[in-house]
Amino acid sequence: MIKDASPKKLAFLSAFPLTLLYFGILLFVDIVLQVKLPWFVYAGGGLLIFAVSFYLFYYILNHFIYDKIRLIYKTIHDLKTPSSKRKKRFYRQDNIIDQANNEVMSWAIDREQEIENLKKLEAYRREFLGNVSHELKTPIFNIQGYVLTLLDGGLDDPNINRSYLLRTEQSINRMISIVEDLETISRLESGEIDLKYCHFDMIDLVQEVIELLEMEAGQKKIRFVFGRSYDAPVMVYADRKQIQQVVTNLVVNAIKYGTENGRVKVSFFDMDEHILTEITDSGIGISREELPRVFERFYRGEKSRSRNHGGGSGLGLAIVKHIIEAHAQTINVRSTLGVGTTFAFTLKKGKQVGGGIM
């Protein structure tokens, strides 16, 4: 391959051997046929042959090949670049074959990546739809079973009529909670949720959540404790309602996957511009293999599926992560099987109402 092939270079490389051939023929006539030719036939003829063939080659290459390639190149280049950024000078370059080749290569790589992304999205969408229908199927079939039994005479049986209706209601509540979680996720993903930032006390918020979940915790005799006694408010700057959802989901998990007589500890750490909140339980823990997956939508750990831990749909932590990331903050998890789990997330430090921070 000729490096940096330009029409001039190619025309020169074609005209040169032609001129040599002309000299070869003259030498043959001179030596073999013994016909002596004057010097100007050599010089003038050589020059003429070189000039004419150079010009001819140059013309053909330029007009019949390069112009066509230039057109293809222009099309590719225009497809790749947004119209506002297109540059005319691109089409005037000499080594246009190499340029076109590079452009085609990078264009192909871009397309390949695009196709890869689309394939991933497609698989994700399929998996998502499968998960949604799977999650909804269980309560729907339960409701169907209870209603059919009631219709088949169960309605008149005082032993089951009320309890079956209660179970039907539970299944309906379950469906409502799945649909609400899905709505939250889709609003978070489409960026529809406008965060309403305000300054608030995290201790206050955690206490509110604990009060609401006292009954669930009481059933398992789980105690709530703070990491230490905080005498001043722990102020953060965030969307209070969303953070309440985060803390609720984390504390619900801590209770759900906690062991009897266990405890849930909430601690706050001052990190200059941020407040780190940690929620630690003394529960079943999460295995090393499962740990990186817990924030995935619909992901439920092996243990939570096999044992009865309240039958979640695996959306709780996905929502938590979305909310924290919408605040441009981070959340992480560490855990030891059989010992417990800690979820830790950061929030921007808030202003103390009437004074310092923490």
Ligand X SMILES: Nc1ncnc2c1ncn2[C@@H]1O[C@H](COP(=O)(O)OP(=O)(O)OP(=O)(O)O)[C@@H](O)[C@H]1O
Task: Give the residue among 267, 297, 279 at the shortest CA–CA distance from 335.
Answer: 279
Strand partners, 237: 199, 348
Amino acid at position 39, single letter: W
- Residue 352 backbone phi and psi in degrees, to 5: -70, 135
**By the rule CB under 6 A, 312 interacts with ligand X:** yes
Query: With contacts defined by CB under 6 A, how many residues of the chain interact with ligand X?
Result: 23
Q: Check if the beta carbon of residue 247 is closer than 8 Å to that of residue 213.
A: no
**By the rule CB under 6 A, 257 interacts with ligand X:** yes
CA pair distance 58, 45, nearest whole angstrom = 19
**By the rule CB under 5 A, 340 interacts with Mg ion:** no
Question: In terms of CB distance, is 316 or 350 closer to ligand X?
Answer: 316
184, 282, 341, 346: residue in contact with ligand X (rule CB under 6 A):
341
Return the exposure string of 224-240: e unless at least 16 CB atoms fall within 10 Å of the residue's CB, then b: beeeeeeeebbbbbbbb
Hey, what's the torsion of the CAs at 51, 55, 57, 61, to 10 degrees? 160
Strands annotated E in the chain: 197-201, 223-226, 235-239, 263-271, 274-281, 331-336, 340-349
Write each residue from 14 to 53 as x if it is in contact with Mg ion (CB under 5 A), else as -, in one continuous string.
----------------------------------------
Structure tokens at 338: 């059989």
Residues 27-56 contacting ligand X, CB under 6 A: none
Question: In terms of CB distance, is 303 or 348 closer to ligand X?
Answer: 303
Q: How near is the Cβ of 171 to ligand X at its closest, in Å?
A: 15
**By the rule CB under 6 A, 264 interacts with ligand X:** no
**By the rule CB under 6 A, 294 interacts with ligand X:** yes
Q: Check if the beta carbon of residue 345 is closer than 8 Å to that of residue 330.
A: yes
Question: In terms of CB distance, is 100 or 331 closer to ligand X?
Answer: 331
315, 324, 331, 347: residue in contact with ligand X (rule CB under 6 A):
315
Residues 249-268 contacting Mg ion, CB under 5 A: 253
Exposure on the CB side of residue 325, measured as CA atoms within 13 A: 12
**By the rule CB under 6 A, 317 interacts with ligand X:** yes
Question: In terms of CB distance, is 181 or 239 closer to Mg ion?
Answer: 181
CA pair distance 114, 109, nearest whole angstrom = 9
Question: In terms of CB distance, is 70 or 297 closer to ligand X?
Answer: 297
Question: In terms of CB distance, is 58 or 343 closer to Mg ion?
Answer: 343
Residue nearest to Mg ion (CB): 316
Q: Binds 304, which of ligand X, Mg ion, none (CB < 5 to 8 A, cut-off by type)?
A: ligand X
* Helix or strand (DSSP H, E) at 37: none
**By the rule CB under 6 A, 262 interacts with ligand X:** no
316, 321, 340, 347: residue in contact with Mg ion (rule CB under 5 A):
316
Q: Which parts of this chain interact with Mg ion (CB under 5 A)?
A: 253, 312, 316
Binding site for ligand X (CB under 6 A): 253-254, 256-257, 281, 283-286, 294, 299-301, 303-304, 312-318, 341
